[in-house]
Amino acid sequence: MSDSSRRMYELAFPRPAVDDQGEGPVLVVALQGYADAGNSIRISNSHLLQALENATIASFTMDELIDYRARRPATTLKDNQVVDVESLELTLRVVKDLSNRPFLLLSGVEPDFRWDAFTDAVSGFVDNYGVSSVLFLYGAAMNVPHTRPLVVSAHGNAPELWANAISLDAQMTIPGSAQLTLEHALMQQGTPVCGFTAHVPHYLGAGDYPAAALGLLTAVSESGDLDLPLKVLQQDASRAQEQINRELGDHVELTPIISQLEQAFDDEVSRRKNQAEIARAEENIPTADELGDLAESFLASVDIDDVSFPPPPEDSDEDTRE
């Protein structure tokens, strides 16, 4: 079989139904490998698939998409034998939330190869299922402290989907990825798209940070109007926070660094608060047209017969002589 004729994915049979009552399901895209600081994407995927009813729609062909030398599967040897090799997967599933509302979840390992073909394949699913909006999840290591509330920022072409996330009003150039390529393509074709990024403290980015997964799934729940199970993640995040506080408390050399991050965080919060207050104040300032309308309305309400004018000033003697 030639390379061009290999199938990008295998459809499940029988294919599970997606009964969205005509509204069009939300698609959540959470691919591991590119931006998964704190293992936020892996934890999010695992939590959703373990806690909610789901069924596979399509399984992507990993030999077509993965560079195994760059992403070597974990292999277990026991008693001088290879007893297990990690299975790398990339699947599209239909998942039902706690209220039995279906949504789509594209999860697993991000492709190393054939980004354009992968984008075309996913775009086809978006069209076939009449997807109403697409939510992308990212976890990024940032200069933020663990002692402050987790920040989730949002970007995309549909600000109404940003929920309570903040926006980063700046231009930046970052390395590309299959997920970002897909995001750009869907925006180009007019699909409502929103990307959520959890800001993970950079010194905690290599380990599990459940608070980041909690922040991402909270944003998904609010933006996609989905009833997601979050209590377990809340408990995991609380326990992890306590453990982090204990461990970092033993490293006094980190205290000045964390204090600097706290100060920078607080300054940014204050700056954004001031900007918001200024914006609200400016919204209350009437425009020139509104001022003109008010003046015309006032003049129209005035009865000229009821208005008395002061008499003109009398001419002085000096003016008379002239």
Q: How far is CA 186 from CA 18, 68, 150, 181, 196, in A?
A: 21, 28, 28, 9, 16
pLDDT of residue 271: 85
**What tens digit of pLDDT does each residue of 33-53 get?**
888 999 999 999 999 999 999
Which residues are bridge partners to 153 per DSSP? 166, 197
Rounded distance between C-alpha atoms, residue 199 and residue 212, angstroms: 7
Q: Where are the domains of the chain?
A: 8-71+84-250, 251-293
Q: Would you place residue 284 in the very low, low, confident or very high pLDDT band (cuts 50, 70, 90)?
A: low
The answer to whether residue 309 scores a pLDDT higher than 60 is no
pTM of the model: 0.82
Class of domain 8-71+84-250: alpha beta
Q: What percent of the chain has pLDDT over 70?
A: 83
Mean pLDDT for 69-91 is 92
pLDDT for the residue numbered 274? 77
pLDDT of residue 70: 86
Lowest mean pLDDT among 23-37, 115-129, 145-159, 286-300: 286-300
SS3 annotation, the chain = CCHHHCCCEEECCCCCCCCCCCCCCEEEEEEECCCEHHHHHHHHHHHHHHHCCEEEEEEECHHHHCCCCCCCCCEEEECCEEEEECCCCEEEEEEECCCCCEEEEEEEECCCCCHHHHHHHHHHHHHHCCCCEEEEEEEEEECCCCCCCCEEEEEECCHHHCCCCEECCCCCCCCCCHHHHHHHHHHHCCCCEEEEEEEEEHHHCCCCCHHHHHHHHHHHHHHHCCCCCCHHHHHHHHHHHHHHHHHHHCCHHHHHHHHHHHHHHHHHHHHHHHHHHHHHHHHCCCCHHHHHHHHHHHHHHCCHHHCCCCCCCCCCHHHHHC
What pLDDT is stored for residue 307 in this prediction?
Answer: 54
231 or 174, which is more confident = 231
Q: Report the pLDDT value the prediction gives residue 5, as an integer from 0 to 100.
A: 38
Per-residue pLDDT reduced to its tens digit, 199-216: 999 999 999 999 999 999
The Cα 152–Cα 140 span in angstroms is: 10
Computed over every residue of the chain, the mean pLDDT equals 87
Rounded mean pLDDT, 281-304: 63
Phi, psi angle pair for 151, to nearest 5°:
-100, 135
Angle at 145 between CA 139 and CA 149, to 5 degrees: 75
Report which of residues 171 and 122 the model is more confident about. 122
Which amino acid is residue 1, in one-letter code?
M
| Residue 137 near residue 105 (C-beta atoms within 8 A) | no
Instruction: Please tell me the least confidently modeled range out of 67-71, 111-115, 153-157.
Output: 67-71
pLDDT of residue 215: 96
With vertex at residue 179, the alpha carbon angle to CA 177 and CA 182, rounded to the nearest 5 degrees, is 110
Q: What is the mean pLDDT of residues 252-277?
A: 83
